Copies of this chain bind each other. A is one copy, B any other.
């Protein structure tokens, strides 16, 4: 006897699955209770690579989703095609055919997860997607189990390996943004159009999924603001180093009085904070909660083996329940299906980094300082440096302030022609 699975797609991650299943067969069979067998793989077209694999591992290549949907021997389907179309329509068919589903498709889950989960529940099948967020980090199952009696107040995540690799190079090697991007593209970390990675869109997808597991709330994806890394200059990096920070692209969800605030934004992180040591393509999620307190989960964000291992954990969890004729648990057992927008008036307060460029004249700093004073915001650190062309650079690390206060400040600044606001980033102390 065996539990038969089908895979949709045979790219990098998918092709790691039969290798791992072969290598860990004994351990997996002991866990599940019977063998897991890849029975069919859906490919757009056959080629030497997937035909050789089919022969070596004994599965059948198919090019029509219906030959999987209508196969009563297949109990679990693994979707590794990516993108929304045709993945979404395939997955709906599979769920309606009462087959359990495992996917690593974060775009699809972030945008259409609710519809898919509803369909899974109606058909009494499992829908698992641990690998959709931070590939090698078992963060979703951890949130759904270890935090089941806890109350999370803040979640900070370095969720995009490509941008983190670039920022690490900009920091450690003093590279410009463009140099870092070229290297990331050369190494295959960044696509020719890097928008999703560098603008924080990929991280925002992951943040939307994390929000459901950590706070039991669904945030519409378009309500998560995202600010990318292209505006980060060598001067920002140099200031960060001088003041004892690194710069990371951070996904940030925090509970305020009236709801959640969620954003992806370049962030100055104190070198003493555990997130500061998360370098290169690694990911990490830092969580603050009433019970567990501060915790961090660190690991690979992507890659063949880490992602395949996450996918296999989901398959095994489902397979074990199938083997024992038990109802399959919902993946997100904390889902309160509260459909909640983000409150614009949350009183979440954060520290900020402001970088200004001003004519190098006396009185300019006083002018800047006065805008902050009007809003009642005090400073933690100030740095003024001579720039080029008679310009000076003024950097301010503020004490805590609200988003509303930041908007007020920007108004003052915009009313003034000779002082330019170069960048506003978040700040996290240790």
Contacts and interface: CB of A to CB of B under 8 A. Distances in A.
Nearest to A299: B295
A146 B298 contact: no
Contact of A142 (B21, B31, B142, B276): B142
A151 B272 CA distance: 32
A44 B151 CA distance: 32
Interface in A306-360: 306, 308-310, 312-313, 316-317, 324, 326-327, 333-334, 336
A293 interface: yes
A287 to B, nearest CB: 9
A420 B216 CA distance: 61
Interface centre among A138, A312, A333 (most CB of B within 10 A): A138
Contacts of A243: none
A20 interface: yes
A305 B30 CA distance: 35
B312 A24 contact: no
A274 interface: yes
A225 interface: no
Interface in A98-152: 130, 136-138, 141-142, 145-151
Given A136-B292, A136-B295, A326-B326, A148 B316 contact: yes
A306 B326 contact: no
Contacts of A334: 27, 30-31
Given A30-B336, A148-B313, A306 B277 contact: no
A146 B291 contact: no
Contacts of A290: 23, 305
A294 interface: yes
Contact of A149 (B141, B291, B297, B313): B313
Contact of A137 (B272, B295, B303, B316): B295
Nearest to A282: B294
A13 B306 CA distance: 36
Contact of A298 (B136, B289, B295, B306): B295
A138 B149 contact: no
Nearest to A130: B146
A306 B278 contact: no
A300 interface: yes
A299 B310 contact: no
Nearest to A146: B138
Contacts of A247: none
Interface centre among A130, A276, A309 (most CB of B within 10 A): A309
A28 B148 contact: yes
Given A24-B151, A145-B317, A149-B313, A300 B295 contact: yes
Contacts of A21: 149
Nearest to A333: B31
A227 B277 CA distance: 28
A296 interface: yes
Nearest to A292: B136
Nearest to A32: B148
A430 B280 CA distance: 12
Given A293-B303, A305-B290, A148 B31 contact: yes
Interface centre among A148, A273, A327, A333 (most CB of B within 10 A): A148
A303 B313 CA distance: 31
Contact of A292 (B23, B31, B305, B324): B305
A291 B306 contact: yes
Given A27-B334, A293-B299, 8 more contacts: A27-B216, A30-B334, A136-B291, A282-B294, A291-B306, A293-B305, A324-B327, A326-B326
Q: Which 6 A-B pairs have the closest CB atoms?
A: A291-B309, A138-B146, A295-B299, A296-B298, A149-B312, A136-B292
20 contacts: A20-B149, A24-B149, A24-B151, A138-B142, A138-B146, A141-B145, A146-B313, A150-B309, A274-B278, A276-B277, A289-B309, A291-B309, A291-B312, A292-B299, A292-B309, A292-B310, A293-B303, A293-B305, A293-B306, A297-B297
